[in-house]
């Protein structure tokens, strides 16, 4: 397979300040029943060149947080208190204070978002080319030839045949092709940060693998800074440098991918990992987490997970824990994280591997 | 004893003339009582269409479904009713498979009364409560007067299972039954289904696109892999997962994203020659996988569709090339 390089991307962002800093971000929705507390005080730095995965179940606040960063939440949502700072080169902006025009620019040129439902993200009556050129024009880029050249380059990068795709309407493309076109389009104006909401959900397995390979290339060769939002732990395991577990609107654990998957200290993270089977791991006993995610209008007292937690003690019912250091670059919000540590000494998480594929038939190593 | 369900050259075509697609193409396999079979494949492979034909919701274009050894198209009305009760289906989407205007009580008691599963009208509630307990919706009294929208996705799917159980089924087709349920709750629903297998002697056909779930649910059972309407490989789960023979099965296994960083980063990948699945309207000749297959042999694979042939270690595979290669490796 041809190795397509995005040679237009020369920026070195491996050092320097974090491109994105979230400080105590809250998001609430006013409803008739009361206020939905979708995100409750998230503080995290997105480091230059890293990929961060936000994992958690539906209602954990991960998608809301992603939408808050690019300010695409519905009007009923309130982002306050909280500060979102974005940095690029010497520039530093407070995202929540941008005007609508500045925001439009920000969404394409600084921080692009790729959505889950790839069909809904397109205008159904525009071809891929028209959609692309409209976007370019809206951002003051009127040089048709240059836009076309860039689109061709991007389509080749996502391994699509430009001839087949450029004049196609969205409905003429398969789900996997649409997702790749969307990824190409999101790179059009050279953003620094990509936010991908469920980038492979609803795609077929082999197509998922194609997308994962592309995203790995963006990460490893182009050093894009990325946020993955997914309920699928496999996306985090495949692509993330760091993983943040979210529950009831908060980050409850944050650490390197290895720490989260093999040395989790929050019972919820541990519960998620023990609930998910693998194909090439040995046969494992799986466990589900009892109960269901809490009502975001009437949150439980203390730690919001205590009703479902087998480690819960009286303190958990009274006081909500803050993130505390549990290891190098590893934080968790749990009063009983040492008990989780002990439990993992007895029942470690390494699964061992089945010999899924006969080595004699392997044609190529993983990219 | 006859298999509880047997498919013989089961075929389904949709559309007319040039617009005809063959969604299911001469699929044959049998399921013994007590066995767990998973039907896996990507979207458009015909797995759901097959499941709907097994449940009698869709008539085949050709071929037949046999229930306890008898073709369901030849059953008299009494026997057909018995079959329809014995074979139930659970759909993917618990948000649309339950009537939103009915309470759980109405949803569960209606089939009990309709099919005379209780002696007196008054017994229906007791039976409904018992069934809700069976699917772990406890306390059942708190659930029975709720409407579907008041329940979570996982709870709704349990109601759908309880409803299927009202008519004492022997066989349940579970079509992507946990795909829309949150990760943390999936396992408990699978465990509950596995318990029904034991307690109620229910045999399952579990349809999923998720190979990891299939492996988990049917570890002691079998997996059947479909591609573009045809079965390309089947066999005991442990053989199929560790020693897949068909190149498509191998490609699927190697492509599955793994929820474990070490597995994810060390897994070997099979490079396909083409990424896109062909359209069902323009299927390639011969083996329909040949345009993507890394083992493609011109003049052989693109000429005739390979038949399913038995594998010594269990199951069947539709690939003469890979079979030859195994022989040559042994010599």
CA–CA distance, B40 with B51 (Å, rounded to integer): 11
pLDDT digits (tens, 9 = 90+) for B263-287: 888 888 888 888 778 888 889 999 9
Average pLDDT over residues B24-33: 96
CB under 8 A, 24+ apart: contacts of B193-199: B193/B161, B193/B217, B196/B134, B196/B161, B196/B165, B196/B172, B197/B34, B197/B36, B199/B134
Q: Which fold has domain B5-330?
A: Rossmann fold (3.40.50)
- pLDDT tens, chain A, 367 aa long: 334 445 444 455 555 789 999 999 999 998 888 899 999 999 999 999 999 999 998 889 999 999 999 998 888 899 989 999 999 888 899 999 999 999 988 998 899 998 876 667 788 899 999 999 998 998 888 999 999 999 999 999 888 889 989 999 988 888 888 888 999 999 998 899 999 998 888 788 888 898 899 999 888 888 889 999 998 899 999 999 999 999 999 999 999 999 999 999 999 999 999 999 998 887 778 888 988 888 899 999 999 999 999 999 999 999 999 999 999 999 999 999 999 999 999 888 866 666 544 433 333 333 3
What does the angle CA B216 – CA B220 – CA B225 come to, to the nearest 5 degrees?
70
- pLDDT at residue B92, rounded to an integer: 86
* CA B95, chain centre distance (Å): 20
Determine the distance in angstroms separating the CA of A241 from the nearest CA of chain B, rounded to an integer. Answer: 10
- pLDDT at residue A265, rounded to an integer: 97
CA proximity to A58, closest of A212, A196, A229: A229
CB-based contacts of B76, cutoff 8 Å, min separation 6 = none
Q: Quick one: CA dihedral B225, B227, B231, B233, positive or negative?
A: negative
Contact residues on chain B for A354, CB-CB shorter than 8 A = 241-242
A279 to chain B: nearest residue by CA?
B212
CA–CA distance, A139 with A82 (Å, rounded to integer): 29
- pLDDT at residue B185, rounded to an integer: 86
Q: Would you call B257 and A58 a contact, using CB atoms and an 8 Å cutoff? A: no
Q: How would you classify the pairing of strands A91-94 and B171-175? A: unpaired
CA–CA distance, B163 with B167 (Å, rounded to integer): 8
Phi, psi of B20 (to 5 degrees): -75, 130
| Tokens linked to A282 | 């040995």
A159 to chain B: nearest residue by CA?
B275
- The residue whose two tokens read 């509880």 is B4
Contact residues on chain B for A281, CB-CB shorter than 8 A = 258, 260, 263
Contact residues on chain A for B277, CB-CB shorter than 8 A = 174, 204, 206
Which of A209, A279, A292 is closest, CB to CB, to B154? A292
| Tokens linked to A101 | 């025009």
Percent of chain B with pLDDT over 90: 69
B271 to chain A: nearest residue by CA?
A364
Q: How would you classify the pairing of strands A91-94 and A242-247? A: unpaired
- pLDDT at residue A65, rounded to an integer: 94
Q: The complex's ipTM?
A: 0.86
CA–CA distance, A217 with A219 (Å, rounded to integer): 5
CA–CA distance, A64 with A62 (Å, rounded to integer): 5
A172 to chain B: nearest residue by CA?
B279
Q: Would you call B260 and A278 a contact, using CB atoms and an 8 Å cutoff? A: yes
Contact residues on chain A for B256, CB-CB shorter than 8 A = 205, 209, 234, 279-280
Contact B135, B162 (CB under 8 A): yes
- A–B CB contacts, 8 A cutoff, strictly below: 174
> Within a 10 A sphere around the Cβ of A174, how many other Cβ atoms?
18
Contact B38, B237 (CB under 8 A): yes
Q: What is the DSSP letter of A97?
A: G
């Amino acid at each position: 397979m041809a190795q397509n390089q995005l040679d237009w991307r020369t920026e070195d962002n491996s050092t320097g300040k974090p491109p994105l800093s979230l400080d105590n971000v809250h998001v609430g929705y006013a409803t008739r029943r009361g206020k939905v507390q979708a995100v409750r005080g998230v503080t995290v730095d997105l480091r230059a060149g890293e990929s961060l995965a936000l994992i958690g179940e539906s209602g954990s606040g991960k998608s809301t947080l992603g939408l808050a960063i690019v300010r695409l939440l519905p009007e009923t949502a309130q982002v306050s208190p909280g500060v979102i700072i974005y940095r690029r080169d010497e520039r530093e902006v407070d995202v929540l204070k941008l005007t609508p025009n500045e925001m439009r620019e920000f969404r394409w040129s600084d921080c692009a978002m790729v959505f889950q439902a790839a069909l809904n993200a397109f205008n159904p009556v525009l071809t891929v080319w028209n959609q692309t050129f409209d976007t370019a024009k809206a951002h003051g880029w009127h040089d048709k030839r240059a836009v076309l050249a860039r689109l061709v380059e991007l389509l080749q990068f996502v391994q699509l045949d430009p001839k087949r795709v450029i004049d196609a309407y969205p409905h003429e493309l398969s789900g996997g092709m649409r997702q790749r076109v969307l990824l190409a389009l999101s790179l059009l104006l050279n953003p620094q940060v990509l936010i991908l909401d469920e980038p492979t959900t609803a795609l077929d397995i082999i197509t998922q693998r194609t997308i994962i390979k592309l995203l790995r290339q963006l990460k490893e060769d182009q050093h894009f800074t990325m946020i993955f939002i997914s309920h699928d732990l496999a996306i985090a395991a495949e692509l993330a440098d760091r993983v943040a577990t979210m529950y009831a609107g908060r980050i409850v654990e944050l650490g390197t991918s290895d720490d989260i998957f093999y040395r989790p200290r929050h019972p919820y993270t541990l519960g998620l990992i023990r609930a998910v089977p693998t194909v090439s791991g040995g046969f494992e006993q799986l466990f589900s987490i009892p109960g269901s995610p809490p009502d975001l209008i009437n949150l439980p007292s203390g730690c919001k997970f205590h009703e479902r937690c087998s480690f819960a003690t009286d303190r958990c019912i009274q006081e909500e824990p803050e993130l505390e250091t549990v290891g190098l670059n590893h934080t968790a919000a749990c009063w009983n994280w040492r008990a989780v540590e002990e439990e993992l000494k007895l029942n470690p998480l390494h699964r061992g591997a089945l010999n899924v594929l006969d080595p004699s038939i392997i044609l190529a190593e993983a990219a | 004893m006859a298999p509880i369900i047997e498919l013989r050259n089961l075929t389904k075509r949709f559309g007319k003339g040039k617009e005809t697609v063959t969604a299911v193409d001469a699929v044959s396999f049998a399921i013994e009582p007590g066995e767990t079979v998973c039907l896996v494949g990507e979207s458009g492979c015909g797995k759901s269409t097959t499941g709907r034909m097994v449940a009698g919701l869709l008539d085949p274009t050709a071929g037949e479904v046999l229930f306890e050894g008898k073709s369901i198209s030849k059953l008299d009305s009494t026997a057909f009713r018995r079959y329809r009760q014995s074979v139930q289906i659970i759909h993917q989407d618990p948000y649309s498979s339950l009537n939103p205007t009915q309470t759980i009580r109405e949803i569960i008691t209606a089939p009990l009364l309709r099919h005379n599963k209780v002696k007196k009208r008054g017994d229906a509630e007791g039976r409904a409560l018992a069934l809700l307990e069976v699917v772990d919706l406890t306390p059942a009294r708190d659930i029975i007067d709720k409407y579907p929208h008041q329940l979570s996705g996982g709870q709704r799917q349990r109601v759908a299972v309880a409803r299927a159980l009202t008519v004492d089924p022997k066989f349940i087709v579970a079509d992507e039954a946990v795909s829309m349920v949150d990760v943390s709750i999936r396992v408990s629903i699978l465990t509950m289904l596995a318990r029904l297998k034991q307690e109620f002697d229910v045999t399952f056909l579990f349809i999923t696109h998720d190979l990891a779930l299939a492996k988990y649910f049917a570890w002691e059972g079998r997996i059947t892999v479909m591609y573009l309407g045809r079965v390309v490989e089947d066999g005991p789960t442990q053989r199929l997962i560790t020693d897949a023979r068909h190149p498509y099965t191998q490609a699927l296994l190697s492509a599955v994203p793994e929820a474990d960083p070490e597995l994810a980063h060390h897994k070997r990948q099979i490079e396909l020659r083409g990424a896109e699945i062909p359209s069902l309207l323009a299927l390639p000749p011969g083996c329909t996988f040949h345009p993507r297959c890394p083992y493609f042999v011109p003049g052989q694979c693109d000429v005739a569709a390979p038949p399913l042939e038995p594998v010594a270690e269990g199951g069947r595979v539709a690939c003469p090339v890979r079979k030859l290669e195994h022989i040559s490796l042994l010599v």
